[in-house]
Structure formats: structure tokens, C-alpha cells
Structure 1
Amino acid sequence: MMLIIVILISTIPLTTKAKQPVPNTNMFVLSNEGLPFIQDKPLHNGTVLQSFAFDDENKHIYVVQLMAGGQQLPDENEPVSGAIRAKNGDVTLTKLDQEGNKLGHMYLKGFGHGVQIGVEVENGVTYLWTETDAVTEGNDGWGTQIARFPFENGTIRTPDSPVLEKHKLIEGADRTTVNIDKTHGLLTMRYRLDGSFRYGVFDLEQVKKGNYHPIADVPQPPVGTFQGFASYGTYLYLLEGNAYGVNGSVAPYGNTYVTAVDLNSGKAVARQLISAGNAMTFREPEGMAIRIPDPKQPHKAQLHIGFASNAAPNRLANIYYFDQLMPINSNHHRCSLLKENH
């Protein structure tokens, strides 16, 4: 028996509405079984993937992870432990093809935790959007602004690298992470301000020109252990959960949920238990991204969710996806559903 839970919500008091209408789209159907995209693929390091993003034009995947301990890079005097890497915000970026085969890598020192990244292709050049300028808090480094830079295989980048185009979208914000909605030309930044997490949605081209005026800015609703986000048109999708054995996550159901937020109203409208990949012995949700299989049909989108598998120190990357959107007349804002499939 497989238990699938959908909770559709209208009572969470989120007060901030969009300053102007966000492009209208339907919500992904998250109650379907997630379909596998890549499974058990090694990255450049053996640490858990943190997040990923798609280059749909060139059919590539970019994945970030905390840099593994024990490595000594050419600009370092000795090997550096994993704990120091985490405190410094050092991450490894791996480039994959769409079958999950490794094509290249970069090292990003002092960038942050890699909670979420974005990809943009302009004039044939692939650019990464990430957090940068990490500040240590607890045992980890977290970004304080966002950066855009081209992928260049085998290189090491720091926050001072001249190729970085930096953007401080909101003064005083930290824990900055980013998603790119290529179809609608939007950039969404998750950030923390005055102790609370929020999401600002910006016109991507205006951001690149230095004009930082959000289209929408909404609070994060209550979630468990946050693991990533993606936005596509009207909806913002939030990933939460833990590996089996942590915070009440028990095989085979676990505690991986996706919450959908309507960016026009600022309200959470759905929360779905995700069963994809539940046969893994180690299964930790990590990262979300939108993929457009055919760039000529940008509205045929897929929502992808990442999971780490296998034992340390050789974690592997997995990605599952959802590709069905709710019907136009779906009454999902006012429904609750509890369904068992036998």
C-alpha cells in the first residue's frame, strides 16, 4: 500500500501580495508519482548534492555540493578539512549531460551553502547564478548577495574574481539563494531579513541592468527542514525534508514535502508528501529546478526534485520530475484530499 497525501491550504496568513501580476500559470500536479530523470550518478566530489539547475538550450545539468574535505587546490598550501570548507562556504560545481555523465567542474570558494542555483544562457554563453560573499554562521557559510558568472571548466572562483557580476537586491538581507524562471524572464531570490525568510521576484533583465524593483515579495510559510525552491510563473515551490532516520523521517514514506505558494496572493495553497525515490536506503531531498525539454515550447515545463543517495563518502545524485499541470478550472484552492492507492 502506498499512501499519498495532498493538503491544500487557504488559511496560512501570508499578507504580502504581488506588486504587479505575476505571469499566469497552472500549478503542477504533485500527487502523481515522480518520474526518474537521472539515478545514482557520481558528482565531482562525494558529498551530498545541494541544488541543481538546467541549461535547456545545451542539454546540460549543473549541480552544486559542499566541497569535500581533504582536498588541496592549487592556490592552497595544504589540504583543507570538510568542516573548514563548510564554514568558509566552499562549494564544488559539476556539469553533467542529461544522462548524468560528468562533463566538467568548477570550485567556488567563499560562495555559500549552495541551497539553490540558477542557469541562464545569453548569446550562446552559459551563466550560473549563485549566492556569494559567504559569512559564517554556526558550522556553515551562507551567501549575502547573488552573483552571475560564466561556466569555465576547471577554474577556481572566489567572491573577488573579476568575472563575477554581483547583485545586492535587498539591503540588509543574508542567506541569499536564487532561481531563474527562463520562460517568464524572472529571477526569484530567497533571503533572510530581520530573522524571517522571504522570496523576492524580479524581472531578470532589469536585475542585470541594476534595477532592483521586485514584482512580488512574499513570506516563507512554515516548513520543515528547508532543502530548495523553484518558481515558474504564478507558483513558487518549496522543498523540505530529511534523510530516513532524521527528524521523524521513516522509510518508505519519509517526510519530503513540496509546498506551493501563489505569488500573486502570497498564500500557500498546497502541501504534498513526495514518494519519489522511496526505495533508496539513503534518501535526502536536495534542490529543485524547472526544466523545459523543448525550448521551442517553453510552456511545456517539468518540475524536478533532487535526492542524494548512497553512503558517505560516496554520495550520488538523483533527480525526479513532475510534468502534469492542473486543469484550468481546477478548484484546488478550496479542496482537501487524502487518498490511498492499494
Structure 2
Amino acid sequence: MMPLFPGAAIAEKPPLLSKRFDLTAQATEVIRDKALHNGTVLQSFAFDNANSRIYTVQLMAGGLQLPGEAAPVSGGTRDGNGDMALTELDAEGNETGYMYLKGFGHGVQIGVETVGDTSYLWTETDSVKEGSSGWGTQLARFKFENGKVLTPASPELEKFKLMEGIDRTTVNIDPTNNLLTMRYRKDGSFRYGVYDLEAVKRREFQPIADVAQPTVGTFQGFVSYGGFLYLLEGNSFGSGGSTAPVGNTYITTVNLQTGEVEDKQLVSAGADVTFREPEGMAIRLPDAKHGQKAELCLGFASDFTPHRLANIFAFDQLLPDQALDNRRSGQPSAE
């Protein structure tokens, strides 16, 4: 059942316990000016925390000719088709592998699920062209296999249509709470549905929460952690009102239980990065065994075409919440 008014949330389970990231804290550098498999702009990224891997997606570069293609394909055609390059990096940001995803979408956000030593990617798929770009219409799960080229018809894909009548589907995974968050567009408006990851894999598509997207600028990515949703917006230096060194990169925090905006902060991280277009968010666990010691990460594309580079910065401070600490310890709350 959808909420009766915009901005409301539905909660089918007890409220999620989590603190909120302090966006006024100093962000630290995770990787800096790292090359991806193609030289196009980073679109989004995600971490396999247990296996110390980073995965990124970007629009496929123009001029490539993949198996089964009669000739090299232009970048504009790749964009319209929703063709993406996926890069695997080690923890220091060095490339260790790649895949090509044809007809998947724009790559605004991705997620990673870890199963033993295997990384499963969650992405959009079944791209439909709108304007000059292709955008996904449902979700896909697949194992990372170095050098593989996948299409929406590939048997390696598991596809998930979480609801009818939607498009612009993108996805992220909360590794601490084992949740999947899907951004989607319905009736012209963007929303976020939060689901239990294991339930989705069983094809049980009842959301834990569903909230409307508040007003933001140029949207660039999202991630959820426990009871909060984080939205990234902004433009590269010299465009959309973004001027070096301050820029216009903001992160908005939304309460998933109420749909209300809790915070919005200008991000100063990476002020000396060239170009500095914000691109993607993810949760990083420096120690995968301690899920509560999480970091909220955001990416920036840097350098110049046709050799764009990837940068990731992290917020690692959580705001104190005495009521939450009491609930976790079993002590009575003053609420």
C-alpha cells in the first residue's frame, strides 16, 4: 500500500535502528584520480567490503566494437542504448577487471552483494531510450566475471520487477542491514522503496519503507544506511552554477520512517579535484565484521575527456543518538 500523501513513508517492520552520518565532519580520501576501464565519466560505484573490491560503472566509450557488432559504435549511440562499462578495482583503486553491459541503462547508482568470495552486482537493466540516454526499467543481479559482455537477454542475469508501471529504476545495497533500496519513477515522480534483500531474492516484494524524493538539484546518486536515505546532487565546476573551489555538491538526509528531510549540507570534500562532478554514493565498511563502523562515501569524476578519472571520499562520523543507544542496550528511553 502506498502512502496517502507525498513525503510519507510506509513501514511494514519495526523502525530501523541507525544513527545519522555527520555531514559537517571532515571527509577523508578513499581513492584519488584513478583510471577506470573506459575514459568516460564515473557514474556510480559500490564496495564489496568483505573482499576489498570497488566496482564502478560509466557510459561505454565511443569507438569500441564488441563481439557481434558490425562496426565501432559512437558514444552517443552507446548512451542512447544504455551501454555501460563496469570496472573492478582493488581497495587502492587499481583496475583488476572489467565487464561490458549492453542495454542496461545510465548507471546512476549500483549495488554490490557479497556471497563468500564472489561479488554480485545489482544494476538497472532493460534500458529504454528517453531523450539522448537510455534508462533502466527493472533490476538485475549478476556475478562479476572478468571480460564478460552481458545484455538484458543474457542467461547469467536474474531480473527483478519489484512493481508495475515504473521506470528509471536504479539500486543500492545497505551491507550492514542487508537492505536493497530502489529509486524509481512512477507517474512522473521519483520515489525510493526499501526492501529486505533476502526477501527480494525470494521474489517477495513488500517494501519496508517507501518515500518521495524531496526537491534536489542535479541528481547524482543515493544510498541508504539503516533508517536514513542520503541523496547526492551537484554539477561539475563551471556548469550549473558550480564554481571552484566551493562548488554546489550537496547531500540531503531523509528519514525513511517519516519521509522528512533531516539535514542538507554543502560538501567541501575534494575541493582541489579538477572538474569535480559528483557521481554516486555507497556504504563502505573498513572492517566487514563490524557493520556499525560504516562510512558514507561519495564519488567525483575528475580530469579531462577522454581520460576522466575516479575519486571517492568518505564521511565516517555518526551523530550521537542517546535514545538509539538506549534501545540497543535495552535501557529505557526518555522519548
Please classify the TM superposition score into its range, dividing by the shorter chain length: over 0.9
Contact 2:230 2:252 in 1 (8 A): yes
Instruction: Quote the offset at 1:129 in angstroms.
Output: 0.2
2:314 alignment partner in structure 1: 321
Q: Mark the runs of 5 or more structure 2 residues left unpaired by the alignment.
A: 324-335
Amino acid at match of 2:121: L
Q: 1:62 aligns with which of 55, 65, 68?
A: 55
> 1:254-306 CA distances to partner (integer Å, 9 max, x unpaired)?
00000000101111110010000111231100000001111111110000000
Aligned to 2:194: 201
Q: Please, what TM-score do these two structures have when normalized by structure 2?
A: 0.93
Match of 2:271 in 1: 278
Report the number of matched residues.
320
d(CA) in 2 for partners of 1:45, 1:212? 35
Q: Amino acid of the residue matched to residue 144 of structure 2?
A: F
Q: Partner amino acid for 1:164?
A: L
Check conservation: 2:31, 2:312, Cα contact below 8 A.
yes
Report if the CA contact (8 A) 1:257-1:271 is conserved. Answer: yes
Distance 2:68 2:6 in 1: 50
Partner of 1:154: 147
**Distance in 1, Cα, partners of 2:181 & 2:321:** 24
Matched ranges for 1:44-59 at <5 A: 44-59=37-52
1:93 matches 2:49: no
Q: What is the CA–CA distance in structure 2 between the aligned matches of 1:155 and 1:13, rounded to whole Å?
A: 42
Q: Aligned runs of 1:1-342 on 2, under 5 Å?
A: 14-329=7-322
TM-score where L is the length of structure 1: 0.91
% identity of equivalent residues: 63
How far did 1:151 drift? 0.3
Residue identity in the other structure for 2:78: R
Q: CA deviation at 1:140?
A: 0.2
SS of the residue corresponding to residue 282 of structure 1 reads coil
**Any runs of at least 4 consecutive aligned residues in structure 1 with deviations exceeding 4 A, and if so which?**
none
Cα shift at 1:23: 1.8
Amino acid at match of 1:16: A
Residue type at the aligned position of 1:73: L
Q: What amino acid sits opposite 1:270 in the alignment?
A: D
2:96 aligned counterpart, secondary structure: strand
* Native 8 Å contact 2:10 2:208 kept in 1: no
SS at match of 1:228: strand
Deviation at 1:146, TM superposition (A): 0.2
Q: Which residue pairs with 1:334 in the alignment? A: none
Q: SS of 1:84's equivalent? A: helix
Give the aligned residue type for 1:153: N
The letter for the 2-side match of 1:52 is: F
- CA deviation after TM superposition for structure 1 residue 33, in Å: 1.9
AA at the equivalent of 1:223: V
The superposition leaves residues 42-88 of structure 1 with CA deviations (integer Å, 9 ceiling, x where unpaired) of 00000000000000111000000000001111221100000000000
- What secondary structure is seen at the aligned counterpart in 1 of 2:312? strand
Structure 2 distance, partners of 1:296, 1:281, is 35
SS at match of 1:308: strand
> Does structure 2 conserve the Cα–Cα contact (< 8 Å) formed by 1:22 and 1:233?
no
- The amino acid across from 1:45 in the alignment is N
Where do 5+ consecutive residues of structure 1 fail to align?
1-11, 331-342
SS at match of 2:65: coil
Deviation at 1:13, TM superposition (A): 6.7
Contact (CA 8 Å) 2:7, 2:259: kept in 1 or not? Answer: yes
Query: How many Å separate the matches in 1 of 2:117 and 2:91?
Result: 18
User: SS state of the match for residue 311, structure 2?
Assistant: strand
SS in 2 for 1:311: coil
Counterpart residue identity of residue 246, structure 2:
Y
CA distance in structure 1 between the aligned counterparts of 2:22 and 2:175, rounded to whole angstroms = 20
What code does the residue aligned with 1:289 have?
Answer: A
State the distance in 1 between where 2:35 and 2:274 align.
16
